[in-house]
Structure 1
Amino acid sequence: MIEITKKAADMIKDFMASQEGPNTVRILSQSC
């Protein structure tokens, strides 16, 4: 469970780094 979450966090980090959009961060924050 923890490993999967860590992988997802890394993927989200890469996604945010490539997008760099405040809207993306907002959507991710709401989905948590």
Structure 2
Amino acid sequence: MSDKNEKSENNVKSDKQKGSKKGCGCKGKLTK
């Protein structure tokens, strides 16, 4: 469970960076 949480946080960080370019971090999460 701890691993999943850490991975989620990393993904969120990546999504936020990618989303920033697109202008929607939420969309990046849905795409993944």
TM-score tier after normalising by the smaller chain length: 0.5 to 0.7
Unpaired runs of 5+ in structure 2?
none
TM-score by length of 2: 0.55
Paired residues in the alignment total: 27
Q: Which has the higher contact order (CA 8 A, sep 6+)?
A: 2
TM-score by length of 1: 0.55
Over aligned residue pairs, what C-alpha RMSD do you find?
A: 2.9
Unpaired runs of 5+ in structure 1?
none
- Ranges of 4+ aligned residues in structure 1 off by more than 2 Å: none
